[in-house]
Amino acid sequence: MTNTLITIVGATAIGKTSLSIALAQHFNCDILSCDSRQFFKEMRIGTAVPEPEELAAAPHHFIQNLSVLDEYSVGQFERDALDKLDELFEKNPIQIMVGGSGLYVDAVLKGLDYFPDIEPAIREALNQRLESEGLESLQQQLQSLDPETYNNIAIDNPHRVIRALEVCIGTGKTYASFKNKPKRPRNFNSIKIGLNAAREITYERIEKRVDIMMNKGLLKEVEQLVPHRQLNALQTVGYRELFDYFDGRCSLETAIAEIKKNTRRFAKRQGTWFRKDPDTLWFDFLEDRNNIIHKIESILKENS
């Protein structure tokens, strides 16, 4: 059988985990998580990491395998995930990937442009300059070092400007020179399954999940991370809002309401991202698992 990666996508709280486990048990295979925040072991509750019994139901990879103190990029994940898939396909030509981080899904399925690792001190210095000198100074430097990138990125986005500049400074080459290089070939076919629901149902599930997280101890989890709040891994929904609470900027009730609101917005962005791929096979989140399995098996048969 041809190597095939079955990827499950959809908005947060839609039921991707339970479907991935059902498929992994049916095909007797492993599950790769591509949720960009479930990597971090200090962020268990706020990222809805699968419960211990769910993790025990099938072999999982890339869950709780890093610390928020670790530097980890989508490019590193692409390399690590492809290496792991090479290993897993030796045992079983069917493997599962699941997650709501669209960029990380695309990294594995399509590939990203490769950029070298840059000394963290360069980014820190650029961030300090952003605070002291403003964005215009960085824009001017980028225009001087790499006019092609200057003319082709969202120049008003500080994150994009700093990312391009750190590559220019750290390598002595332009950011543009690293783009559109040949990508590592994929040795597998892809089947992408999307789960959806009416918007009001998705929002209801999100609000319920946030309440469950709070009952499980999300407030304490976030409190322990306050000293590290500047780290990139923690610039995410469910953590930023509670940092504001600990700063005295809002009440706990307001912070929880903001988490729900911002998670709804995030789910909407997820839907927009995943619907861009016309090859995704969409199913209602309540669809009988056997029907989804039957559809996958028919595609596998056609491709074999």
Q: What is the 3-state secondary structure (H, E, C) of the chain?
A: CCCEEEEEEECCCCCHHHHHHHHHHHHCCCEEECCCCCCECCCCCCCCCCCHHHHHHCCEECCCCECCCCCCCHHHHHHHHHHHHHHHHCCCCEEEEECCCHHHHHHHHCCCCCCCCCCHHHHHHHHHHHHHHCHHHHHHHHHHHCHHHHCCCCCCCHHHHHHHHHHHHHHCCCCHHHCCCCCCCCCCEEEEEEEECCHHHHHHHHHHHHHHHHHHCHHHHHHHHHHHCCCHHHCCCCCHHHHHHHCCCCCHHHHHHHHHHHHHHHHHHHHHHHCCCCCCEEEECCCCHHHHHHHHHHHHHHHC
State how far the alpha carbon of 50 is from the alpha carbons of 58, 70, 83, 160, in Å: 11, 22, 23, 33
Residue 150 scores a pLDDT above 90: yes
Question: pLDDT tens across 63-108, in order?
Answer: 999 999 998 888 899 999 999 999 999 999 999 999 889 989 999 9
Residue-averaged pLDDT of the chain: 94
Q: How confident is the model at residue 115 (pLDDT cuts 50, 70, 90)?
A: confident
pLDDT digits (tens, 9 = 90+) for 242-259: 999 999 999 999 999 999
> Could you read off the pLDDT of 15-41 as tens digits, one per residue?
999 999 999 999 999 999 999 999 999
Domain range summary for the chain, segments of one domain joined by +:
4-112+183-303, 120-178
User: Which tokens go with 275?
Assistant: 């619907």
Judge whether 85 and 34 are in contact, CB under 8 Å. Answer: no
* 110's tokens: 């399509």
* Whole-angstrom distance, CA of residue 189 vs CA of residue 300: 9
For 195: left if phi > 0, alpha if psi spans -120 to 50, otherwise beta; the answer is beta
Please name which of 160, 125, 116 lies closest in space to residue 142, comparing C-alpha atoms. Answer: 160
Q: Which two tokens stand for residue 6?
A: 């079955």
pLDDT higher than threshold 90 for residue 182: no
User: Per CATH, is 120-178 categorized as 1.10.20.140?
Assistant: yes
Of the CATH numbers 3.40.50.2300, 3.40.50.360, 3.40.50.300, 3.40.920.10, which one belongs to the domain with range 4-112+183-303?
A: 3.40.50.300
Name residue 56's beta-bridge partners: none
What average pLDDT score do residues 175-203 get? Answer: 93
